[in-house]
Amino acid sequence: MKKLIIIFLSLLCVFLSNCKQKQKNIFPTIYVSKENRFIIFDAMPNFSLKEKYFLFYFNGYPWLKDFCVFTTSSSLRELQTAFAMIDWQLWDKIYTKKFSPKLKIEIYTGTEWVSLDKVLKIKNFNSYQTIFWGSPIYDNFVLERSYTTNKCVGCDLLPLEESLFLDGLTPLHYKFLKPLKQKFKVRIHILDNQ
């Protein structure tokens, strides 16, 4: 009987630890560590010849994809929720552009995590240009409809062009310092902003 109780308790512990792990990461393409304040996702270099204004493209506003240095398979909605899970007050300030986030970006080279500035040299960079964070005005129209084309020609309210979101931004002048694989992992830490 004691053996059965020990086996049952052992199985229960394994089950509970697995449940905790699954609750910790609720997104299919983004890993979130609330305790350590970071997210991890896969990215690929974007070989579009257009000038780049953002580092990472997350699926949502397809007409901005060509203007990003890297693309991901993750959605902008997932990213927004992941950042809000870590710190919803900070996310709200980033989203409404009331606060410039302090972020540490790392790339996994296959053997170790290295700082982005050891892989990519960028001029004219500010943290808002890490990602197009979304728009409080347009997210409800665009992200709910899941546009797959580069132009929002079917919008009921207005034609959304890329210039609407790129206006006033300085292009990123960047240069790769090290070659990257076709697909690699990115880790973004939200640093203490106090």
pTM confidence score:
0.78
Contact 120, 69 (CB under 8 A): yes
Domain ranges of the chain: 27-190
Per-residue b/e over 63-72, b at no fewer than 16 CB within 10 Å?
A: bbbbbbbbbb
* DSSP-derived pairing of the beta strands 113-115 and 120-123: unpaired
Q: What pLDDT is stored for residue 25 in this prediction?
A: 62
User: H helices within 70-161, ranges in order?
Assistant: 76-86, 88-95, 139-145
* Burial class for 115, CB neighbours closer than 10 Å (0-12, 13-18, 19+): exposed
The two three-digit tokens of residue 58, written as one number:
């997350």
Q: What is the pLDDT along the chain (194 residues), one digit of tens a residue?
A: 555 455 544 544 554 555 444 445 678 899 999 999 999 999 999 988 999 999 999 998 888 899 999 999 999 999 999 988 988 888 788 877 777 778 899 999 888 999 999 999 998 777 888 998 888 877 877 777 655 555 555 554 444 556 777 878 889 989 999 888 889 999 999 886 54
